[in-house]
Amino acid sequence: MSKLLNLATPLPVAENVEKLMDIVTDTFSAQFRFIQNNGEDLMDFVTSTLTAIPPYVFILIIAVLAFFATGKKFGLAIFSIIGLLFILNQGLWEQLMNTFTLVLFSSLIAIVIGIPLGILMSKSKVVEEILKPILDFMQTMPGFVYLIPAVAFFGIGVVPGVFASVIFALPPTVRFTNLGIRQVPTHLIEAADSYGSTFTQKLVKVELPLSKSTIMAGINQTVLLSLSMVVIASMIGAPGLGREVLSALQRAQIGNGFVAGISLVIFAIIVDRLTQSLNKQKSNGGK
């Protein structure tokens, strides 16, 4: 009993975590290898496809999308043209496409996982009480820590970068989906019940449409958090603008680091304004 109460003896937490990681890695090594190989091939294909599009055509597409997404306003479209032309001029276009692929996959995976989890949280108090501390843990844990299991499971490359980004960016979509559905007025839920709506009908036709604005706000945060992991993911081999920032840091190249950082800021602003504009457009359309 005295040994158990001896606070001078550290608990074997690190050793047990390493044993657990070894067990998981050994047990699912074939599955991890399959995801690593096929995921990398898929993302390389998407990046190659994006790179094959002439840059000026890609810039024009983004500008047109920004113009209509913002309600036919020129501000974001002009900023997109100038910002993307700057990135092209600096020779960082291929790195931008790699970053786009990383953010696209990590955001989509986080959204596909996060919305169902948010719906489940909104429907079950028990699930909510279980998931809340897990989400708190995921949001407060430093992003660098997620690189450890990512490398253990998938090795070096873009796939572990996506894995770490998904874990880091997942919580906002889950939380906002839960919040949006719980904020649907009770009388509308009761009206749907009085008309004999099934669970699926009520969810698809009442709750999700009315909570769309809140869910989109969570998606916006998820996309931005995925983008914030770009530099961190570059430390384990993920390509893109983050690798340029990391390389400039290692070589103390202030100018190159500044250019790569500004390119990331430009990309982040375009993505943020586009997702916000789409959310506002849908909200106004629903009124």
Mean pLDDT per 10-residue section of the chain, whose length is 287 residues: 58 79 82 85 90 93 89 87 93 91 91 92 89 88 81 82 88 92 84 79 85 89 87 82 83 85 91 81 52
- Is the separation of the CB atoms in 189 and 206 below 8 Å? yes
CATH label of the domain that carries residue 124? 1.10.3720.10
Residue 287 is predicted with a pLDDT of 45
Nearest to 113 by CA among 41, 177, 159: 177
CA torsion through residues 109, 111, 116, 121, sign: positive
Tokens at 275, concatenated: 């997702």
Task: List Cα–Cα distances, 63 to 77, 84, 219, in angstroms.
Answer: 4, 10, 22
* 192 occurs within a structural domain: yes
Question: What's the total number of domains in the chain?
Answer: 1
Nearest to 236 by CA among 148, 140, 111: 148
Task: List Cα–Cα distances, 281 to 66, 76, 105, 174, in angstroms.
Answer: 12, 15, 24, 22
> How far is it, in rounded angstroms, from Cα 265 to Cα 226?
13
pTM for this prediction: 0.85
* 61 occurs within a structural domain: no
* 1 occurs within a structural domain: no
> How far is it, in rounded angstroms, from Cα 206 to Cα 198?
11
* 69 occurs within a structural domain: no
Nearest to 229 by CA among 137, 99, 51: 99
* 243 occurs within a structural domain: yes
Nearest to 223 by CA among 270, 154, 284: 270
CA angle 141–145–149, rounded 5-degree value? 120
* 70 occurs within a structural domain: no
The residue written with tokens 């989890």 in the block is: 117
Range of the domain at 197: 15-52+90-286
* 60 occurs within a structural domain: no
Residue 262 is predicted with a pLDDT of 92
* 228 occurs within a structural domain: yes
